[in-house]
A and B are shown apart, each in its own frame.
Chain A
Amino acid sequence: MGYTRSGCSISGGTVRIAGKDMVTLSERERAGIRGTEVAYVPQSAAAAFNPAQRIIDQVVEVTRIHRLMPAEEARQKAVGLFRALSLPNPETIGGRYPHQVSGGQLQRLSAAMALIGDPKLVIFDEPTTALDVTTQIEVLRAFKSVMKAGGISGVYVSHDLAVVAQIADRIVVLRNGEVQEVGATADILTRARHPYTRELLAAFEPKARGEETMVEERKVLLEIKGLSAGYGPIQADGLPLVRAVQDVSLTVEKGRNLGIIGESGCGKSTLARAIAGILPASSGTIFFDKSELEGSVRQRSRDQLREMQIVFQYADTALNPAKSIEEILGRPLMFYHGMKGKQRDSRIDQLLDMVHLPKALRHRRPQELSGGQKQRVNFARALAAEPKLIICDEVTSALDTVVAAAVIELLKELQRELSLSYIFISHDLSVVEAICDEIVVMYGGRKVEEITPAALKAPQHPYSKLLFSSVPKLDPSWLDTLELDPELVTTYGHR
């Protein structure tokens, strides 16, 4: 689009759109092309819409800026696009404000915004990354049919190879700013030549859990009975106003892993917080290592806190930017184990070694590390406490496929060495499948099913069925041939 972020500049080369070089054009000429010849669909639709204006006014803005058509005609066209993108109530949805529609709907509305000026090329920048798999299908289908109907070319930027496989005719593999491989979708998927592409494909392939780690005696480490938690004032029945988690019971055995899976907003993070005592549960009991835990962090003993650690999704916000890695890792060592001086220093080196980070990193600050490195430090901090159970809340979601696969490998390795247990919370089925012995499916704050990876192909509960069949596969024909029970979709999908 001939646009760069401030500080970045296009130093060479050409970008031709319909015969015009976007690089050499003046800003004014470029503005004339943007929106009419080339349009952009951003990753975060929520950030792309102005919360203070009605959706329809923002969608037709392009026609107003470029004086393409009268307002009423633009409005009609927008409604037509809403219909083509299979949005509910196409006539009236434009009258709403951005916060009144769901994330999947907003993403489709932002596509309508891009398509209103009849562009020849649409650039999609990770448009479904922030969506749930069940929603992602709808959005992808809508994109695909509209592009096909309008004969529009598209550039689809994504880290998810399976999604790209559904929508692209040709794939370009980028790494470190350089093109690694270009080819037709089928070629890339089946006959990848470049090692990095193979690595990507391998990272995507769900890995078998491997032989189950045999634990001599199966001891229950964590047992939760009838746990409810939520937000807001306590009601007459003793439960909070907004119940994020309702009546969940589960067990974690020593040395084994539990996966908790479900779409965003199903209460899985709240469950993790209730177990860790960050958000005290309103009812239910938590037994950990044979003793009952208090609901709140403050009432638990230091040893109880030490044995259960929680690792968060975003290492960026989980590591204090003002502290060095050494300080971050050193604090739990001192706090729990009273380590000082040389003893602490050598333990920090050990911890860095355990998570495969060079020792030289210890003097750096978090912002000087890459995403994967930060997540490793995040783990090292949890390991410093020498816990029995680590709760991993979406730990790989913010990472690239290849980096995420490496982190998962690391987790498995640490488990073998330290006989840890994990509670692994994720919306990504392949991640959970790769590491967990048991999987709990959550929907609307309740546990709907508990299954083992072996039984993964045949879930019983209808929601589990929908969820599992919605995970994109590398097969390019997957989206077109996929048939979801429409009844299930209307019951459980948030369209």
Chain B
Amino acid sequence: MALIAPHIIPHPVGEIVDEDYFGAISSRFWLGSDYLGRDMLSRVLMGARYTVGISLAAVSIACFCGVVLGMTAAVVGGWLDAVLSRFLDAMNSIPGKLSGLVVVAAVGSSISVLIVTLAVIYTPGAYRFARALAVNINTMDYITVARTRGEGIFYIIRSEILPNITGPVLADLGLRFVFIVLLLSGLSFLGLGVQPPYADWGALVHENVGGCRSAPPPSSSPRWRSPA
């Protein structure tokens, strides 16, 4: 949906097309219009591109870093494992929303800042998950065989461990994606996420919250998808 959104939106996304604001659902505006009279359906569809795109980028970075670090820690062990684990545990202890707010408030909001912030917040979880899996695999005899063969750490990680943890890691990636969507929508709702004139689902709720009483359909339609 997000991919083909530009081709299926019924009205240009930034243009005021309705003569009324908070217009009701009609055959022209399937989800009504927003506080400026823009078509809600178009904005929701285009908003998905921000929500999904940013979350996907963030989750990919988080899982890539987490999984690589987790496997390295499990295979190398010793002080590297101890230092990495304690450091990422410490990061994990800071509430995600809070650190997100602080970073965005301090650095300012742009899409790249959002992606990096979200990725950093979710890396420790991915690390923990991958490390736990890799530690189990690391005790298997085939890892010992590879070590006695004289294989390096990179080979062990890439060829012996990674193929055996791909399934659970992908499942974890899916879950983590959902959490990131949630956090991103939260940030946007608070006005710290995607900035106008662009809007993701969280920002759409934020923009139209004023119409909540008078015109429920447009103000609530983004929320059908985004529980922010």
**A302 contacts which chain B residues (CB < 8 A)?**
150
Q: How many Å lie between the Cα of A314 and that of B163 in the bound state?
A: 20
Contact of A305 among B141, B149, B164 (CB under 8 A): B149
For B167, the closest partner residue in chain A by CB is A322
A-B contact pairs, 7 of them (CB 8 A): A277-B148, A305-B149, A309-B148, A310-B148, A317-B140, A318-B145, A335-B149
Q: Mark B50-68, 1 if CB is under 8 A from A, else 0.
A: 0000000000000000000
Contact of A310 among B145, B150, B163 (CB under 8 A): B145
- Are B163 and A335 touching (Cβ within 8 A)? no
- Are B164 and A322 touching (Cβ within 8 A)? yes
- Are A318 and B150 touching (Cβ within 8 A)? no
Q: Say yes or no for B147: interface residue by CB 8 A criterion.
A: yes
Q: Say yes or no for A225: interface residue by CB 8 A criterion.
A: no
Contact of B150 among A278, A317, A319, A335 (CB under 8 A): A335
Residues of A within 8 A of B (CB): 276-278, 297, 300, 302, 305-306, 309-310, 312, 314, 317-323, 331-332, 335-336, 381, 385
**A305 contacts which chain B residues (CB < 8 A)?**
148-150
**A306 contacts which chain B residues (CB < 8 A)?**
150
Q: How many Å lie between the Cα of A312 and that of B147 in the bound state?
A: 13
**B148 contacts which chain A residues (CB < 8 A)?**
276-278, 297, 305, 309-310
On chain B, which size bracket covers the interface?
10 to 19
Contact of B142 among A297, A309, A318 (CB under 8 A): A318
- Are A385 and B141 touching (Cβ within 8 A)? no
When A278-B144, A314-B141, A381-B145 are in contact, do A323 and B150 touch as well, CB less than 8 Å?
A: no
For B144, the closest partner residue in chain A by CB is A278
Q: How many Å lie between the Cα of A319 and that of B148 in the bound state?
A: 14
- Are A322 and B163 touching (Cβ within 8 A)? yes
When A317-B141, A317-B142, A320-B142 are in contact, do A335 and B160 touch as well, CB less than 8 Å?
A: no
Q: Say yes or no for B151: interface residue by CB 8 A criterion.
A: yes
In the complex, the 5 A-B pairs of residues with the closest C-beta atoms, listed nearest first: A322-B163, A318-B141, A312-B141, A317-B141, A305-B150
Q: Mark B158-179, 1 if CB is under 8 A from A, else 0.
A: 0110011000000000000000
A286 to chain B, nearest CB (A): 14
For A336, the closest partner residue in chain B by CB is B149
When A312-B144, A314-B141 are in contact, do A320 and B151 touch as well, CB less than 8 Å?
A: no
Q: How many Å lie between the Cα of A277 and that of B141 in the bound state?
A: 14
Q: How many Å lie between the Cα of A45 and that of B78 in the bound state?
A: 35
Q: How many Å lie between the Cα of A335 and that of B160 in the bound state?
A: 14
For B151, the closest partner residue in chain A by CB is A335
